[in-house]
Chain A
């Protein structure tokens, strides 16, 4: 195991994970809001926000899928030392992380069952940048409307149509994080 696979965890786990959890909960409760999460120094390929998110939410009982280029030995080692989360194929995952194109198709992830809609996958999408512009969002947690730079529209619309089933999404870029739960409705910005 390489050395950088062991370093870069929270150095004050109790406080840092609580602060990160608060930010993660806020962005999921208020779609369109962007917060910063820091604390982790993950190996190359993972953003700070995504690394901190995984350290906060993953443990040996959450199955994780690494999509595309993120499935490297160093990232696997880092996650197994700091979280112990088992790495699984997409269909069994509780959490999946990767670039938007690598995570496709969305149909391969668990969407929960009618009895247990919570048994759905949460996808963590790594984006180059995150801004409050682009697609207009409405729904629970949004007073009038919000906007978020989503990588696509149609897949999220289809996902929202599955409600109460469907996946939830986190978007990470650098140390920024935003979220899109399955309850949010999407409209493309009207043409000028």
Chain B
């Protein structure tokens, strides 16, 4: 996996995780909170586009609220946070984690913050899948024996 894909993955994870969980896990990052704002947290809307069944052309599904911010650590590393919803602390924490993941503290942040988020996400997805699986219907045809 190249650096950009890895960064995409952790930013996606942070964006989709529950704000409370992220903020709880980031409480211990307080010593790293000496950053400068490049862009203070701001709330806006983005259009979500969808595509039916993986084919067909894309259509506008609806707008969602997004909060974004950008910050710079004292050593010059820049972090961007884009999260769903209007929780500015969540966006700040996402940007902070993004910045720290580019420093030599990456491994520690990965195990302290990202790993628990990944587990939680996997659990949620498994739960959704289980719910969907319960409605599965197996179609079968009886042998008609008419030849």
Contacts and interface: CB of A to CB of B under 8 A. Distances in A.
Contact of B70 (A6, A11, A12): A6
Interface string B102-128: 000000000000000000000000000
B39 A3 contact: no
B78 interface: yes
B35 interface: no
Contacts of B70: 6, 81
Contacts of A13: 40, 42
B72 A6 contact: yes
Contacts of A81: 38-39, 70
Size bracket of the B interface: 10 to 19
B42 A7 contact: no
Contacts of A9: 38-39
Contacts, number: 21
Contacts of B76: 3
Nearest to A8: B38
Q: Is the interface of B mostly helix, strand, loop or mixed?
A: strand
A7 B72 contact: yes
Q: Is the interface of A mostly helix, strand, loop or mixed?
A: loop
B66 to A, nearest CB: 14
Interface residues of A, number: 9
Nearest to A12: B40
Interface string B30-43: 00000011111010
B78 A11 contact: no
Given A3-B76, A6-B70, A11-B37, 14 more contacts: A3-B72, A3-B78, A6-B38, A6-B72, A6-B78, A7-B36, A7-B38, A9-B38, A9-B39, A11-B40, A13-B40, A81-B38, A81-B39, A82-B39
Interface of A: 3, 6-7, 9, 11-13, 81-82
